[in-house]
Amino acid sequence: GAGVSQSPSNKVTEKGKDVELRCDPISGHTALYWYRQSLGQGLEFLIYFQGNSAPDKSGLPSDRFSAERTGGSVSTLTIQRTQQEDSAVYLCASSSRSGNYGYTFGSGTRLTVV
Amino acid sequence: DQQVKQNSPSLSVQEGRISILNCDYTNSMFDYFLWYKKYPAEGPTFLISISSIKDKNEDGRFTVFLNKSAKHLSLHIVPSQPGDSAVYFCAASGHDYKLSFGAGTTVTVRA
Annotated domain spans of chain B: 4-110
Cβ of A43 within 8 Å of Cβ of B43? The answer is no
Q: Which residues of B touch A102 (CB under 8 A)?
A: 46
Residue-level pLDDT at A98: 57
Residue-level pLDDT at A2: 76
* Residues whose CB falls within 8 Å of the CB of residue B107, separated by 6 or more in sequence, listed in order: B10, B11, B12, B13, B19, B21, B77, B80, B84, B85, B86, B87, B88
Residue-level pLDDT at A96: 81
Cβ of A107 within 8 Å of Cβ of B99? The answer is no
Cβ of A42 within 8 Å of Cβ of B93? The answer is no
Is pLDDT at A82 greater than 90 in this prediction? Answer: yes
Q: pLDDT (tens digit, 9 = 90+) per residue, B30-85? A: 999 999 999 988 999 999 999 999 999 999 999 999 999 999 999 999 999 999 99
A23: containing domain? 5-98
Query: Positive or negative CA dihedral for A13, A18, A24, A25?
Result: positive
Q: Please, what CATH class does the domain formed by B4-110 belong to?
A: mainly beta
Q: Which residues of A touch B50 (CB under 8 A)?
A: none
* Rounded Cα gap, residues B111 and B44, in angstroms: 24
Domain count, chain A: 1
* Rounded Cα gap, residues B24 and B100, in angstroms: 12
CATH number at residue A26: 2.60.40.10
Which of A42, A48, A102 lies nearest to residue B89, judging by beta carbons? Answer: A42
